[in-house]
Amino acid sequence: MVKLKLDASLVLFALSSSVLAVVQRSPQPQPNAQPYSPLNPRAATPYDEPIYRRDYISTSEAKPSYDYVIAGGGLAGLVLASRLTEDPKVSVLVLEAGMSGDDVKDQVNSPAGAYYQSIVGSAYDWNFTTVPQPNLANRRISQPRGRILGGSTAMNAMYLVRPSKTEMDTWQELLAGDGGDSSTASRWGWDNLYKYMKKAETFTPPADSLKSVVNITVDASLHGSNGPMQISYPAIMINITANWTAACAGAGIPEQKSPNGGTTLGGFITPSSINPSNETRSYSRPAYIDSLPPRSNLHILSESTVLKFNMQSKQDKSGNYIIESVEYAKDSSQTSNTVVKINKEFILAAGALSTPKILMYSGVGPKDTLESAGISMKVELPGVGQRLQDHMTSPIVWQTPLQTAGDIHNSGSDFSKSKEFNSFINDAVAFANASLLFDGNQTTFQQEIVASLNDTMVDKMVPSYSSEVKAGYKKIYNLIATRFFDNVAQVELLMSLISPGVVAVQAAIQHPYSIGRVYVNSTNPWDGIIIDPQFHSHWADLVMMRQGLKLVRRVGAAYGTVLGTELNPGPNMQSDDAIDAYLVNDPSNGANSQFHPAGTAAMLPKALGGVVDADMKVYGLANVRVVDGSVFPFEFAAHLASAGYGVAEQAADLIKAKSYSVTSGKATNASVASTASLSLVALVLGCLLTILGL
């Protein structure tokens, strides 16, 4: 067992005979930091006064038309709204199905609120579930998604883990081949997307005194320094975390000293989306919207569900349909939908589960799905809703003689109610390749995966009639089985300390071979979507998860007496068959979703079943773009938020550079005067309101 290092200069909270929590406040703003003002959104903000100053409109205040209409006020939607309205000549309307979140802001703002007062399962969650999964004992798997301004960034676990350079460069390669454009594909390689991921963030390293107790290796150059998102570390660390990288090393997982710089293999303490000036969650709403000065060219409507978009009957000179309006409503009781016209473009940022739904109810999608649902097809696009993938995860759970964050929370002590304690979230992770999972004996397993790819298997695995979708599956399958196998992580390990009396370490598969789909089966857009990820439909996924749990046990053994009796799946479950049965059948601790759906509107060449091109435009539509996690063509060995912010930041620049005009019927430089130009009087009034703090 590795002994804990303790620095006597730190403030220590002794909650029993052992020191259980090492407390170190995150660095406070520098002495020359300026007080908050709407014109200085990067300045410190008081903990007790979260920034909720943005004026949101009601339906009656909405204009009849906007340059850009955005479906979804989540991660990408709010990034785009903020960046596009930097130009006062541009008008933007954001339509968010969920409520604003003002009534639950304290739950959302507290990082630990993600565990102890989560909005998951509430009215602020879409509360999606899959259809019964035959390879998981017909279990329905929960798929929570944020239904709130800020989307899932208001409810996620706040990890910042980027994809690897290998994965990003492979995406670029896929876009450049099979009829793609190499010049536009280069935007989505590592070098360019990394620049945009950094643009989104301001990184604050942990104090040296904290690093001396918990092994946190930091390279600030790998992060941004002037972006809206605040990236840092909790104000406290629990002692068990101090052993993480050493325990991983004892299990054969080397420490990763430069995480988030293009390589993720190894163990490390990852930063999180926490604002160190007030120890609150940093997510898309406060980062990109609430910190803005007044902008009369930005309107945000909550409780407004986008149902469909409407096309002109004619096509443009390129043969693409032009979208002229969008329909939305508060709920199904509204007697008629509200219609808003589009001057330039409609942007889908509703997420990997809802974006394909809007496309399909608008008549864009697979022919068989639309015909079966009774929806008139306008554009046949077989890839819509296809390629659904997710990270599957399962834990090993041990008793522990040490107190955990869950114990401290349950104590009801003053410390348990402090903002310092409630900044603590899980942040110990490790990423392992196939060689580590199989102790260097992975070659036979790899050969079996490669050999199993044939037309019969593809016809069974891919729920699509389309040869294009199947061609894309084959190509990506081979890349995962070869290029990614040893060079990119196959399993992520995550330590959890949030439950009383126990420590859990999860194993999450990163590159599943199973794919599913999202689809609709009626003409009523208020009906629920059908989510069928086809979890573990490929045999290799179960094997990979089993090996992941074996690796978790090796990490547990390296922890020594810090971990006590194994509770789940239990010390008697040692054989492959026993572990497989646990993964398939156990509803609580068996294989479940890590809540990272992706791929349902993939940015790929159309010949590979793609839905959007490298400009993020939907094939066959002149002025519709998709900007959310549905464009990822395969699962990344990462948490998806950082990549999501990078995609949205780049999308904003693409739209600013060149945007479609419905009036002219062609794409023009977006700096051309907008139909919603602001008057000089409005500008002066906005400045006066800012000065007065109104």
State residue 55's pLDDT score.
Answer: 58
pLDDT classification of 678: cutoffs 50, 70, 90 = very low
The conformational region for residue 336 under phi > 0 = left, psi -120 to 50 = alpha, else beta, is beta
Give the model confidence (pLDDT) of 590-645 as tens digits: 999 999 999 999 999 999 999 999 999 999 999 999 999 999 999 999 999 999 99
Kindly write down the DSSP assignment for every residue of 187-234, as one continuous string: GGSHHHHHHHHHHTEEE-PPPHHHHTTS-----GGGS-BS-SEEEB--
Give the model confidence (pLDDT) of 424-454 as tens digits: 999 999 999 999 999 999 999 999 999 999 9
Kindly write down the DSSP assignment for every residue of 637-668, as one continuous string: SS-HHHHHHHHHHHHHHHHHHSEEETTTTEEE
State residue 287's pLDDT score.
Answer: 97
State residue 208's pLDDT score.
Answer: 79
Whether 596 sits among the annotated catalytic residues: the reply is yes
pLDDT classification of 18: cutoffs 50, 70, 90 = very low
Spatial separation of the C-alpha atoms in residues 292 and 79, rounded to whole Å: 12
Give the model confidence (pLDDT) of 101-134 as tens digits: 999 999 999 999 999 999 999 999 999 999 999 9
**Exposed / middle / buried, residue 412 (Cβ in 10 Å: 0-12, 13-18, 19+):** exposed
Q: Which residues pair with 99 in a beta bridge?
A: 148
Considering the entire predicted model, what is its pTM? 0.91
State residue 689's pLDDT score.
Answer: 40
- Known binding residue 626? Answer is no
User: Which residue's entry shows tokens 């968010």?
Assistant: 96
Spatial separation of the C-alpha atoms in residues 535 and 673, rounded to whole Å: 49
User: What radius of gyration, in Å, describes the C-alpha atoms of the chain?
Assistant: 25
Give the model confidence (pLDDT) of 46-85 as tens digits: 334 344 445 588 888 999 999 999 999 999 999 999 999 9
Structural domains in the chain? 63-297+385-661 (3.30.560.10)
Whether 299 sits among the annotated catalytic residues: the reply is no
Spatial separation of the C-alpha atoms in residues 165 and 186, rounded to whole Å: 13
What is the chain's length?
A: 694
pLDDT classification of 161: cutoffs 50, 70, 90 = very high
> At 435, is the secondary structure helix, strand, or coil?
helix
- Known binding residue 306? Answer is yes
User: Which residue's entry shows tokens 């060219």?
Assistant: 297
Buried b (16+ CB within 10 A) or exposed e, 165-180: bbbbbbbbbbbbebeb
Taking residues 350-374, what's their average pLDDT?
98
Spatial separation of the C-alpha atoms in residues 22 and 421, rounded to whole Å: 10
**Exposed / middle / buried, residue 226 (Cβ in 10 Å: 0-12, 13-18, 19+):** exposed
